[in-house]
Amino acid sequence: MNILAIETSCDDTGAAVVKDGREVLSNVVASQVPEHVLYGGVVPEIASRRHCESISGVVNKALSDAALSLNEIDAVAVTAYPGLIGALLVGVNFAKGLSYTHGLPLIPVHHLRSHVASNYISSPDLEPPFLALIVSGGHTHLVHVKDYTDYEVIGRTRDDAAGEAMDKAARMLGLPYPGGMNMDRVCANGDAKKYKFPNPHVDGSPFDFSFSGMKTAVINLVHNKEQKGEPIDLENVGASYMRQVVKVLCDRSEKAIALYRPQRFVIAGGVSANSVLRREMEALCNKYGVSFFKPELKYCGDNAAMVGAQGYYEYLNGNVADLKLNAIATMDIDMKMSK
Give me the residues that bind ligand KG4 (CB under 6 A), please: 10, 136-138, 163, 166-167, 178-181, 184, 269-271, 273-274, 301-302
Give 259 or 329: the residue with its C-beta nearer to Zn ion: 329
Q: What is the nearest approach in angstroms of ligand KG4 to the Cβ of residue 10? A: 5
Which partner in Zn ion, ligand KG4, none is near 178 (CB below 5 to 8 A by kind)?
ligand KG4
| Nearest to 83, CA basis, from 333, 299, 334, 339 | 333
Is residue 28 within 8 Å of residue 58, measured between CB atoms?
Answer: yes
Which partner in ligand KG4, Zn ion, none is near 180 (CB below 5 to 8 A by kind)?
ligand KG4
Q: What is the nearest approach in angstroms of ligand KG4 to the Cβ of residue 318? A: 26
What are residue 142's DSSP bridge partners? 133, 155
What are residue 156's DSSP bridge partners? 141
Give 242 or 321: the residue with its C-beta nearer to ligand KG4: 242
Is residue 104 within 8 Å of residue 130, measured between CB atoms?
Answer: no
Q: What is the nearest approach in angstroms of Zn ion to the Cβ of residue 13? A: 13
Which partner in ligand KG4, Zn ion, none is near 262 (CB below 5 to 8 A by kind)?
none
DSSP state of 301: S
Give 99 or 274: the residue with its C-beta nearer to ligand KG4: 274
Which partner in ligand KG4, Zn ion, none is near 273 (CB below 5 to 8 A by kind)?
ligand KG4
Residues within the interface to Zn ion (CB under 5 A): 136, 302
Which partner in ligand KG4, Zn ion, none is near 266 (CB below 5 to 8 A by kind)?
none
Q: What is the nearest approach in angstroms of Zn ion to the Cβ of residue 107? A: 18
Which partner in Zn ion, ligand KG4, none is near 108 (CB below 5 to 8 A by kind)?
none
| Nearest to 1, CA basis, from 22, 16, 15 | 22
What angle do helix axes 212-228 and 162-172 make, rounded to 10 degrees?
10
d(CA 142, CA 151): 10
In the chain, the N- to C-terminal Cα span, in Å, equals 20
Q: What is the nearest approach in angstroms of Zn ion to the Cβ of residue 334? A: 17
Give 302 or 314: the residue with its C-beta nearer to ligand KG4: 302
Give 157 or 240: the residue with its C-beta nearer to Zn ion: 157
Give 90 or 98: the residue with its C-beta nearer to ligand KG4: 90
Give 173 or 184: the residue with its C-beta nearer to Zn ion: 184
Give 138 or 262: the residue with its C-beta nearer to ligand KG4: 138
Which partner in ligand KG4, Zn ion, none is near 66 (CB below 5 to 8 A by kind)?
none
Q: Is 68 exposed, middle or buried (CB count within 10 Å of its CB: 0-12, 13-18, 19+)?
A: middle
Which residue's C-beta sits nearest to ligand KG4? 270
DSSP state of 129: -
Distance of CA 87 to the CA centre of its chain: 16
Is residue 102 within 8 Å of residue 96, measured between CB atoms?
Answer: no
Q: What is the nearest approach in angstroms of ligand KG4 to the Cβ of residue 33? A: 11
Which partner in Zn ion, ligand KG4, none is near 163 (CB below 5 to 8 A by kind)?
ligand KG4
The dihedral built from the CA positions of residue 220, 224, 229 and 230, taken in this order, carries a sign that is negative
CA dist list (Å): 232 to 195, 212, 221, 244, 293: 12, 21, 9, 18, 36
Number of Cβ atoms within 10 Å of the Cβ of 322? 11
Number of Cβ atoms within 10 Å of the Cβ of 137? 23
DSSP state of 194: S
Q: What is the nearest approach in angstroms of ligand KG4 to the Cβ of residue 187? A: 10
Q: What is the nearest approach in angstroms of ligand KG4 to the Cβ of residue 280? A: 12
